[in-house]
Amino acid sequence: MADKGNMGILRNNEGDDGSGNGNDVVAEMMEMIEAVGSYTGFRRTQRKECLKLVRRLKLLIPLLEEIKEINQAIPTRAFQSFVHLKKALLSAKKLLKQCNFGSKIFLALEGDAVMCRFHNVYDKLNEALDGLMYEELGISEEVQEQIELLKKQLQGAKRRTDTLDIELAMDMMIIFSKNDERNADIAILERLAKKLDLYSIGDLEIETVAVKKLVKERGTTKHVESTEHIVDLLKKFKKVAGFDETDGNKVLEDSPSLRCLDRCLSLLIPHEFLCPISLEIMTDPVIIATGQTYERENIQKWLNSNHRTCPKTGETLSHLALAPNFALRNLIIQWCEKNNFDLPKKESHMMSEHQNAFIDEVSSLIQNMSSSQLTTQCQAVEKIRMLSKEHPENRILIANCGAIPPLVKLLYSPDQKVKEHSVTALLNLSLDEANKRLIAREGAIPAVIEVLQTGTDEARENSAATLFSLSMLNENKVMIGCLKGIPPLVKLLQNGSIRGKKDAATALFNLSLNQSNKTRAIKAGIIEPLLHLLKDKSLGMVDEALSILSLLAKHPEGQTGIGQLSVIETLVGFVKDGTPKNKECATAVLLELGLNNSCLILAALQYGVYDHLVELSKTGTSRAQRKANALLQQMSKCEHIL
């Protein structure tokens, strides 16, 4: 045993670093671990990483409990190692707190930067654990083994890649692109809102508070562009949820909900007279399936935005019918007369009658789609196509009326126009999440693939878009690959119109998230048209091509196809002179290639990439900085070859 008298001792009631005594530090660390363990709202983009970090932190509890039970003097050096561990835990807690309470849009947009923070926390924890003095502290072998296992887990965590960021990347890239005509595409916005859990009123109100806090913290001089992106996307999500964009603007400046609530309180309006959505007095109250009452206009906007839950309770609605609440309306009128309060005048709605008329129309069209007269058939399917495009609620009603089976059948029609209208109608219907499964179950995927091969140019484009929409479900990714849907997509990428190329690229990116589909895409010859897109910048698809290449570069066969000197030179060119997004994506591809082939790193150095990477590591996007730093580290390992 070491002579404690000669090493310096910090007893449990002493401390010389301002951190408190030994037991205090141990107790504080246990409290921090308990606190992060109580977090239940981790944002979806980082949820998996957060839960893993929390589980790893809990592995420290046996160590801390054992130290606490020993209840003896702690050597000075050992105490300092606990101070370092406490600092690492504080960093972990701060990160987990942001991932639990922070802006969901910010965490998605800055996903790579956030992942860097996780890696920094892993490094700090590892460094602190390396400094632990087991023998001096009297730690049991069992706990020592557990800590060593934790250290291995932390080291392994840094090598993991989160596929959720890759899934979000394409949609985020499109939404924030000023040059892409799809940046206001309602389907992409709906998909993003669902991925980020920002489609309910409650979630949007919480996000508004988080964004306001973020804007306040950042001020007006730092990160202006990304802050504008976050604010703009929040406005779009609110519009998708049924709020006017002007309302979204006001929420960021000064919440109208709070202002309206203040006005209502000053007038002492009974709370049950206020719509839970707008917090304004109701003029046309209606009851929904859960028994909750809302202003008709507000709840109709909610339902029209493809929501199928009660905004107040979160329960799934068993039906969409709205029943007038005459009793409450009479009470509101009586209260208004008694208090000299003028109700806002709004038009009365007869939505149920309109809905019934719509269902009758759709049922008639479905019948006409089975007509033996080609003209009648074509007119009916074209009308279904138009109706399915107009409104999110229409897509549900049309599917519920049984339109999907006859539409799938018409994909095999000998008439090209009928096929075109049918596949486009299915594309529109597939924007609803539930319809994706219905369409696949009706056997639509092989029929859509056939239209992709034999249809008109517009039909081929919309077939590619349909496959992309259906591939949002993992089981459909596998099915599309197995049914040989990838080769015709590659062909469209190579020979299609610009719109066709973009639809094909989007579908191929999503499908290539599946490992087996990477192999299928490479065998179908995807690399050659992707490299052509890099050379022909006039097509405006460099980012799409680089994004797909970064996925394929993880595959051994992809590394062989992409790892050519001419390709390395092209990639280095984008790092030097490309747009910020070009530089980011090109660096990501070079990193994937370089991790498996040091010769390619040497080639990139010979083409003069080094100085540009150094610059990118300081001034690029957050993801570009991370990739550039990783590539520079990889280059330093290859110095002995030079």
Residues 105-122 have pLDDT tens digits of 988 888 777 887 888 898
CA distances from 141 to 135, 381, 600 (A): 10, 73, 46
Let me know: does 252 contact 242? Beta carbons within 8 Å: no
Lowest model confidence (mean pLDDT) among 10-19, 278-287, 407-416, 497-506: 10-19
Question: How many CB atoms sit inside 10 A of residue 640's CB?
Answer: 7
Share of the chain above pLDDT 70, in %: 83
Cα 545 from Cα 542, distance rounded (Å): 5
Which of the pair, 447 or 12, is modelled with greater confidence?
Answer: 447
What values do phi and psi take at 524, rounded to 5?
-80, -5
Cα 445 from Cα 23, distance rounded (Å): 64
Query: How sure is the predictor about 93, in pLDDT bands with cuts at 50, 70 and 90?
Result: very high
Query: How sure is the predictor about 257, in pLDDT bands with cuts at 50, 70 and 90?
Result: very low
Which of the pair, 289 or 425, is modelled with greater confidence?
Answer: 425
Residue 77's pLDDT is 66
* DSSP label at residue 379: H
Highest mean pLDDT among 195-209, 476-490, 610-624: 476-490
Residue 64's pLDDT is 86
* Alpha-helical regions (H) of 306-400: 326-338, 351-369, 374-390, 392-400
Which of the pair, 147 or 161, is modelled with greater confidence?
Answer: 147
Per-residue model confidence as pLDDT tens digits over 583-624: 988 999 999 898 888 888 889 888 999 999 999 998 888 888
Lowest model confidence (mean pLDDT) among 192-201, 254-263, 492-501, 629-638: 254-263
Q: Residue 628: exposed, middle, or buried by beta-carbon count in 10 A (0-12, 13-18, 19+)?
A: buried
Lowest model confidence (mean pLDDT) among 17-26, 138-147, 364-373, 472-481: 17-26
Query: How sure is the predictor about 72, in pLDDT bands with cuts at 50, 70 and 90?
Result: low
Question: How many CB atoms sit inside 10 A of residue 204's CB?
Answer: 19
Query: How sure is the predictor about 350, in pLDDT bands with cuts at 50, 70 and 90?
Result: very low
* DSSP label at residue 320: -
Residue 130's pLDDT is 83
Instruction: For residue 138, give every residue at least 6 positions away whose Cβ sits within 8 Å of its Cβ, in sequence order, or none.
Output: 70, 72
Strand 285-287 and strand 74-75: the pairing is unpaired
Let me know: does 42 contact 51? Beta carbons within 8 Å: yes
Instruction: For residue 180, give every residue at least 6 positions away whose Cβ sits within 8 Å of its Cβ, in sequence order, or none.
Output: 174
Residue 2's pLDDT is 37
Residue 181's pLDDT is 52
Lowest model confidence (mean pLDDT) among 236-250, 291-305, 367-381: 236-250
Which of 106, 105, 112, 110 has its CA nearest to residue 196?
Answer: 105
Q: What angle do CA 345, 350, 353 make, to 5 degrees?
A: 175
Instruction: For residue 165, give every residue at least 6 positions away whose Cβ sits within 8 Å of its Cβ, in sequence order, or none.
Output: 45, 111, 112, 115
Let me know: does 384 contact 365? Beta carbons within 8 Å: yes
For the chain, the residue count is 642
Let me know: does 202 contact 255? Beta carbons within 8 Å: no
Cα 521 from Cα 12, distance rounded (Å): 64
Residue 345's pLDDT is 63
Residue 348's pLDDT is 44
> Across residues 490-498, what is the average pLDDT?
93
Cα 104 from Cα 98, distance rounded (Å): 10
Look up tokens 């930067």; give the residue. 113
CA distances from 451 to 223, 252, 413 (A): 46, 46, 10
